[in-house]
Structure 1
Amino acid sequence: MVASSLRSFIKDVRNAKTLADERSVISKQSAKIRTKLRDDRLSNEKKRANIQKLLYLYILGEKTHFGQVGSINLIASDEFVDKRLGYLATILLLDESQDLLTLLTNMLNNDLQHPNKYIVALALNTLGCLSSTELARDLYPDVENILKNSSDPFLLKKALQCNAKLIQKDRSLLEIFPVSLIGSKLIDSANISTHGVLLGVCKVLQAILITFDKSFNKTGEDTATEQEDDDEYQEDVGILKTIAEYIQPLSYRLSTLNSKSLEPSYDVQGIQDPFLQCELLVTLKWFFKIGNNLGLEEITRHNTAFNDRLTQIATNTSALKNPGNAILYEVTRTIFELNLTQPLRVLGVNILANFLAPTKNANNTSNNVKYVGLNTLVSVVPEEPKAVQRYRKFISQCLYDYDISIKFRALELTFEIMDEENFVELTTELMNFLEKISKSHYHYATSYIDIDDSKDLILYTVDHLLEKFEVFTNSDDKTKLDALMNTLKMAGSFVDLDRTNEFIVAINNIDDLKYKIALLSKELAELLDEKKNADAESSACLELTIVWCIGEYVDLIIANPNTNKNIVNEKSIIQFLSKLNNTYRLSKESKMVHYILTAALKLSTKINDKALVEELRQIIVSHSKDTNLMTQTKSIHYELLFNQPDNIKKQFLQAMPKFEKKTTSRGLETHPIAKEPKKQNDLLLDLLNDTEFGKIATKEPTIAQPEKPNDVLADLLGSSTSKPKEKLQIPSESVLIHKGTEIEVYEKTIDISSGLAHLELYVKALNNKLTDIQPLCAVPKTQKITLSQLQPSNSMNAGETVKQSLRINGSGKLKLRIKMSFCVGDASAVVSEQFDYKLDQTI
């Protein structure tokens, strides 16, 4: 049954028990609306009913293009109720790029001259929202006519708002805009200069100033002298000097609004007209931003008075209610965007800090106010770091807020204010935060806290802590190492093995070897103590780090006089490696196996007991027939090296040097980039060039090389030179699934089984260099897709290829909708190519 009214239609949609039922109701109703709107004999009342249903479909995200002409036809009616709904539907269903807008020209022209001011207001609203460049030029005279001849504040407010939109759409309208009208009629007249009219004046002035700012910035500093001789530039400066006369009356009006004399009609929670105060602040900010950059005396002479005005507003405005906070926020934005004097910047920081401070009988502890305060403080730290650091207490309190967005902003601000002086204090605070959030139960938890949110917070904290460890190289090594180990123990279960390399690099780069060995001895004793760890939950990240430390420092740990020899000894360590090897032998996570093999090989040069050495050899040999080709290859190579004399093995297996790292941050992710080794025939390079551990192990060791390294390598691996890295090639068994103007995309099926599919996409650049490649992929609702990072990078030259791995879990037919976004050459504009691909298999 198809609903006959909007109320029953909404009720039918909400009562649908399945998605198929809901789709059926919507499809039938859409078909009925489409049929009805084609009927020319349909009454306006029924047209309105169908347009109302159409707007509900728009809210649901359904296709509504078939109702665009019907909405425009409704505007042609003489009845206000028809025009109101027709204009509303037109604003929602059309946009500025559609050709149908030409049908509106005559209707808008007629309604802008209508005797009913409310119909004129509807036309002005629609013109402001849906104004193309052509429409703006055609109908601007009608809007200007209203500004010149009307004395109705209601119409003037609407016309000014519309005029601001038209100026932003087509700056050439400034040549005919009567600028003097703003002062002579709108600001100076007490009867006309109402709240709404002043809001409209502010919007027009902002539109003019923003247009000028874009124009002046395009010219650039180098061409400013040439541009002064240009007629357009001179005309813009002339208009700017003219409207600069309005700075003083607008500033006076702002001061009046901020005084204690209140008008009940515009009082909002004890604040006089906060909306107008904010708009006046924004308008004056644009005046001084442009005027100070150009050095116009007509504007710069008001600088001192404006600074005093900002101080007055910040002092007189109450922060107990949200309207006051909105005004104070605009004051702060104005201070920092104009880069005013240092006392004013400190005042701005104090205002933002008060947004975070919990006070009695105040509403400034709401999440919105806290978020605004934290978000703005992040941007002002570079200008006033010391002033922001004074409020570390308030920032730390926000780490334990219930709202996940507040936590993230507080974390971001904490890392922004971290420096050499407060490094220890803030690191301790972050350790306390990690300890509380990494537990399965929260003493401050609410019903909506999700473990996924906690994981995101933990990973963000871990990534940025590791980054700060690299930045503050002169900080206390003991604090760094304690923080690293505590982070591994508290958050190791949340951190994937790929991030473990960052922990290993940080541990290796710590210079205090004595404290490092003492702490590792203690941690290894706790890990090997079976009684303590009987019920403990294992952390792969911690185990991987300990395995690497065993390979590097086991001889120093055992030789340490404070080491508990009953727990930490050669036998227990080898048993630990053997146990881990058995645990991860059949696991898909081969990274742990690679580290175990390397640790066993290094350990063989530091142990003299032949029986224990044989156990190490058995760990390596156990993977000589591994199903993973990379693991099998490493096992065979290591076995060859294992059987060599100690003097040869030690040349390969000396301690790792200090790693040099460059880190870059983007958004909430940190991407460490290891420094590439020099191109040379390094024996260690050829041995360990196939895993993540190989990346760490292939740094340039400061050790004496054998006289003929190539001969030794030839004996071991049958090769005397390392092959150059080959470019990524498209497999012969792959299928071409898309050929566009800039790229070709190939698909290779790795494995498809019940509930799981593993695919690979190969993207080839055809004619140009592509940068910032961003792949997006959608699958049916019954499936979930996981995308890996692009390999080898997210950019490529013409003729090169990158690879994207896809894992799809779920059930149903395999269907993909793929969108590849990228920049062509050195252009900054983003280009996209989208296509669909359907496989024959199901999962």
Structure 2
Amino acid sequence: MGSLRTFIKDVRGAKTLAEERSIVTKESARIRTKLKDDHLVPDKRRKNIQKLLYLHILGEKTHFAQVECINLIASDDFRNKRVGYLAAMVLLDEHQDILTLLTNLLNNDLNHQNRYVVSMALSTLGSLTSPELARDLYPDVENILARSTDEFLVKKALQCAAKLIERDTTLLEIFYPYVGSILKSRQLCTHGGLLGVAKLCQVAVSCRSRYEYDNYPEILQSIVHKIPEFFSILQDMNSTNFSAEYDVSGTCDPFLQVELLYTLRLMFELAPQETAQYKNKLNDLLTKIATDSAGSKNSANAVLYECVRTIFALQLDQSLKVLGVNVLGKFLSGKDNNTKYVSLNTLLRVAPQEPKAVQKHKMFISRCLSDPDISIRTRAVDLTFAILNETNMKELMDELVSFLKLSGEQEKDLIINVVDQLISKFELYAVESEWWVIEIMVQVLKIVGQHISFDKVSNVIVMINNAQDLDHKTRLIHETLELSLGKKEEAIDGDNLGWKLLSVWCIGEYGDILLQRNMFLETELTHYLCLVNGIYSENTKLISYTLTAALKLSAKIQSPSCVEDLRQLINGHSKDTNIILQTKSVQYSFILNQPASQRHDILGAMPLFERSGKNGNGSSGSKPMVKPQEQNLLLELLEETSTSNGAAAGNNSETLLDIFGNGSSDGASQLLKSSTKADPIINIPQDSVETYQSDDMQVFFKMASMVPGEAHLELYVRGHAQISNLQVLAAASKTQKLVMGNLSMASIAAGQVCRQELKVSGSGKLKFRVKLIHEGPSGLTTDQFDHKFDQSL
């Protein structure tokens, strides 16, 4: 049998996964066989357990050797006992029935003459203790605390006692007196002993709600009275005259300092009335530590970070909060990535409390946006939006646009998050320059348009459409199309469908203005639409816009050859396999054959969209722009003027496709009469499955249709009470892509039903995590549940 070293070398040397699995499986079987041999010598047994620990690290099953760990602990040989205790702590937990076999062994070893055996027994008891073990063995731990003068064992016993109290709070009454006795003892009050005392105090304070006896106020008062001693210890450790024995990169024992600060924080948090008299002294102590701690090493930073956490957890004085923010700003200016991440994460939590103090460090926050570490960039983005307001919006927006320029394809989720927050901030704050907002959004679209959904592109198009300055609008559209048509050296990524969509819309809507000002030739605009139609023929949404743009452009050009090219483009989809595109093609061909006057009325300029003022939460007061039912798109395009305007007022510009229709042709309107009506009463289908129920609502799922690789589902929410501002959030497996349609209504009365459509593509089992946020009788409420379907994609 080879050694552990040889086994590890063989596993690491495997060239394929199959070879590694073969080595591990054979060795696991060999160990299982060897351990069944009652005559196996202890040394061999120990080596097999060592290999078993390595197998556990690799994630292999090791339950068959649990008894062997106990047998090694029972050995008199220290080497065997040490491996046995290690294996027990790694392979077992407090819920194992086999722990009953440990009781007698631990009892013997806790009274052993060898201090190292006692130490191992204390460590194992603290790690694996259950309520039963705690009640059985606490007298042995108490005996060590009461009689031992070995600071090494006292330190271990205090830590173990804290673990025992966590499992059985009634033991607090037995162990809490040792806090005072250890602090009074010069021999035992070492740094190790103080760590144990701190742990004991933490447990004593935090188990307040679980302690069953009436003497808790007395116990708590006894613990709180030790606060001045903790203050004194921390002050001494932050003086210049500390022992070199505890020096860690210029800081005196940062481990103990952090533990004591955390203990004080718990005391002041969980016992505010009892500790109120010491609050001023705590302010002075934290100010001294935060200002006197020198050095940029991790040891000093750890102490400073714990100070900052204590300041904001306890909501201390304003001056201390500003000092805490400045400490975090100092962390940001350093080079250590771990320190920067901790600082960004803490500033993100602090920003709502001290926004002005955090904003002073925006220069360092902006630097983090270009950090090579993705985790730091992500936190910097979140913090940038947290401090963004009306006064610094332009400066920070420029930084965010620069960040998007440096982002790679692997950061798609982060890019989408940035764009979503950009749009929400523009809706939340009133910006004087409407064109600055539009230019920023067009620039974002140019950089990362391939990651932006068509709904977000709709926002940009509505902004451009509603802009009043025609000259500025024309100049922006001209620059956009110059990029698209390749008249500038700067190239647009072929995958940037958002930019293509914007360009197609601009040609269809403003082609006449561009041609009148001699900015482009008719052939250039026509050729671009034909090019998009040929290259992106599989993208239904983009082709749908291209067909509409071709129809509108045909009424604005004079060249017969260009008109014919556009006619062929439209007719080319008359036999399209996609029923939506086929219907568009047939109906658009009919419009092309209408007299010029009627075509001009039907294909006129798009009206301004009415957008209500912003409400308190930053969202538009109007209904958000969402994708309507596909079968109604063309019908909405070709409504009469009065019907179209009425629908626009009612729907508040639900979709970009509505943009293209504003005509008054009686013939076309009679042929293609709009079916846009008020939302019908929604009933829950009989074959739907109930997946969740609460006091406010009942949720159902229905599988609408399913083909290999794709499924369409419907989620129904029935109100048990009046519900408003309902939001439905859902997530699918990593191997699947989830697209959510529009929610039929955000406010429902008791007994009323709303519907949410979902489309899933990919592979694997269908399972969802759904979160429902709403305002009900009890206020803002969040419900979350998981649901797994039997079907697989």
TM-score, structure 1 normalization: 0.77
For residues 106 and 519 of structure 1, the distance between their equivalents in structure 2, rounded to whole angstroms, comes to: 83
Cα 1:49–1:322 change in 2 (3 A) is same
**Among candidates 576, 584, 594, match of residue 528 of structure 2:** 576
What is the aligned partner in structure 2 of residue 447 from structure 1? none
Distance 1:618 1:35 in 2: 78
Counterparts of 1:72 and 1:766, CA distance in 2 = 55
> Structure 1 residues 583 and 688 mapped into 2: Cα distance closer, same or farther (>3 Å)?
farther
Q: 1:302/1:198 Cα in 2 relative to 1: closer, same or farther (>3 Å)?
A: same
Q: In structure 2, which of residues 428, 431, 443 is the aligned counterpart of residue 486 of structure 1? A: 443
What is the aligned partner in structure 1 of residue 481 from structure 2?
524
Q: Does 1:19 align with 2:17?
A: yes
Q: Which of 179, 182, 188 is matched with 2:179 structurally?
A: 182
- Residue in structure 2 matched with residue 78 of structure 1 by the alignment: 76
Q: Could you list the runs of 5+ residues in structure 1 that have no partner in the other structure?
A: 216-230, 358-363, 439-450, 666-671, 733-741, 752-757, 778-784, 809-815
Q: How does 1:107-256 map to 2 (within 5 A)?
A: 107-174=105-172, 176-183=173-180, 185-212=181-208, 235-256=215-236
Report deviation, 1:312: 0.6
SS of structure 1 residue aligned to 2:111: coil
1:441-493 CA-partner distances (Å, limit 9, x unpaired)? xxxxxxxxxx4445555444334323322222324323222222222223335
Alignment length (residue pairs): 747
Structure 1 residue corresponding to 2:294, chosen from 313, 318, 333: 318
Contact (CA 8 Å) 2:773, 2:783: kept in 1 or not?
A: no
In 2, distance between residues paired with 1:646 and 1:192? 96
Residues in 2 aligned to 1:465 and 1:822: alpha-carbon distance in whole angstroms: 25
- Please give the per-residue CA displacement for 1:112-153, whole angstroms capped at 9, x wherever unaligned: 232322222212212222223333333333323322332321
Instruction: Tell me by how many angstroms 1:759 deviates.
Output: 4.3
Name 1:328's counterpart in structure 2.
Answer: 304
The answer to whether the 8 A contact 1:819-1:835 is kept is yes
Q: CA separation of 1:354/1:712 partners in 2, compared to 1, >3 Å: closer, same or farther?
A: same
Give the letter for the 1:107 counterpart: L
- Report if the CA contact (8 A) 1:684-1:697 is conserved: no
What residue is the counterpart of 1:270 in the other structure? 250
Question: What is the distance in 2 between the residues matched to 1:26 and 1:628?
Answer: 54
2:601–2:663: 8 Å Cα contact kept in structure 1? Answer: no
More divergent stretch after superposition (370-379 vs 93-102): 93-102
Q: 1:28-47 maps to which residues of 2 (within 5 A)?
A: 28-47=26-45
Distance in 1 (CA, whole Å) between partners of 2:434 and 2:135 is 68
Which amino acid is 1:102 matched to?
Answer: T
- Between the aligned partners of 2:493 and 2:593, the Cα distance in structure 1 is 37
In 2: Cα distance, 1:730 partner to 1:303 partner: 63
Distance across 1 between alignment mates of 2:168 and 2:718 = 37
Q: 1:660 to 1:73 in 2, by over 3 A?
A: farther
Structure 1 match to 2:573:
623
Distance 2:323 2:281 in 1: 17
Distance across 2 between alignment mates of 1:598 and 1:380:
50
- 1:680-724 deviation per Cα after TM superposition (whole angstroms, max 9, x unaligned): x999875599xx999424789999999xx9x98663259686884
Give, in angstroms, the shift of residue 195 of structure 1: 0.5
Residue correspondence of structure 1 range 249-648 to structure 2 within 5 A: 249-292=229-272, 296=273, 298-357=274-333, 364-435=334-405, 437=406, 451-453=408-410, 455=412, 458-493=415-450, 495=452, 499-505=456-462, 507-508=464-465, 514-528=471-485, 530-532=486-488, 537-538=493-494, 539-555=496-512, 563=517, 565=518, 567-585=519-537, 587=538, 589-603=539-553, 615-639=565-589, 645-646=598-599
Amino acid at match of 1:181: Y
Partner of 1:760: 711
The CA RMSD measured in Å over matched residues stands at 4.5
Report if aligned partners of 1:527, 1:533 keep a CA contact under 8 Å in 2. Answer: no
Gaps of 5+ in 2: 640-650, 689-698, 721-726, 775-780
Task: Indicate if the aligned counterparts of 1:656 and 1:701 stay in contact, CA closer than 8 A.
Answer: no
Q: Deviations over 1:562-586 (max 9, x none)?
A: x5x1x4255533332232222222x
Change in Cα spacing, 1:400 to 1:722, as seen in structure 2 (3 Å) is: closer
AA in 2 matched with 1:621: N
Q: What is the distance in 2 between the residues matched to 1:39 and 1:96?
A: 28
Is contact 2:684-2:716 (8 Å) kept? no
Structure 1 residues 39 and 203: CA distance shift in structure 2, 3 A: same
Deviation at 1:531, TM superposition (A): 4.7
Question: CA–CA distance in 1 between the matches of 2:583 and 2:632?
Answer: 19
Letter in 2 for 1:576: Y
Tell me: CA distance 1:767–1:592, structure 2 relative to 1, closer, same or farther (3 Å).
closer
User: Structure 2 CA distance, aligned partners of 1:105 and 1:509?
Assistant: 78
Asked if structure 1 preserves the Cα contact closer than 8 Å seen for 2:728 and 2:770, the reply is: yes
The C-alpha deviation readout for 1:377-423, integer Å capped at 9, x for no partner, is 11111111111111222222222223222222222222221111111
* 8 Å Cα contact 1:521/1:557 also seen in 2: yes
Deviation sequence 1:772-807 (CA, Å, 0-9, x none): 765436xxxxxxx44334677899999999756332
SS in structure 1 at match of 2:226 = helix
Aligned to 1:442: none
Mapped partners of 1:543, 1:663: distance in 2: 34
Relative to structure 1, is the Cα distance of residues 696 and 823 closer, same or farther in structure 2, using a 3 angstrom cutoff?
closer
Query: Which amino acid in structure 2 is aligned with residue 180 of structure 1?
Result: P
Q: Which amino acid is the alignment partner of residue 313 of structure 1?
A: I
Q: In structure 1, how many angstroms separate the alpha carbons of the residues matched to 2:308 and 2:41? A: 55
Give how far 1:330 is off.
Answer: 0.8
Contact (CA 8 Å) 1:374, 1:410: kept in 2 or not?
yes
Q: Given that residues 662 and 675 in structure 1 are in contact (C-alpha distance below 8 angstroms), is that contact kept between their aligned partners in structure 2?
A: no
1:340 aligns to what SS in structure 2?
Answer: coil
CA distance in 1, matches of 2:356, 2:319: 13
Return the letter of the residue paired with 1:594. S
Do 1:768 and 1:824's aligned partners in 2 also have CA atoms closer than 8 Å?
no
Q: Which residue identity lines up with residue 424 of structure 1 in the other structure?
A: K
- Secondary structure in 1 matching 2:207: helix
Letter matched to residue 178 of structure 2: L
CA 1:498 to 1:60, structure 2 compared with 1: closer, same or farther past 3 Å?
farther
Tell me by how many angstroms 1:334 deviates.
0.8
Distance of 2:790 and 2:71 partners within structure 1: 37
Please give the per-residue CA displacement for 1:576-611, whole angstroms capped at 9, x wherever unaligned: 2232222222x2x21211221233344456667777
Q: Would the alpha carbon gap of residues 275 and 638 (structure 1) be closer, same or farther in structure 2, given more than 3 Å must change?
A: same
Is 102-111 or 721-730 further displaced after alignment?
Answer: 721-730
Distance 1:618 1:481, change over 3 A: same
Give the alignment partner of residue 805 of structure 1, picking from 746, 754, 760: 760
Identity over aligned residues, as a percent?
42
What secondary structure does 1:124 align onto? helix
Q: 1:649 aligns with which of 602, 608, 613?
A: 602
> CA, structure 1 residues 173+512, in 2 after alignment: closer, same or farther (shift >3 Å)?
farther
1:683–1:545 CA distance, 2 compared to 1 (3 A) = closer
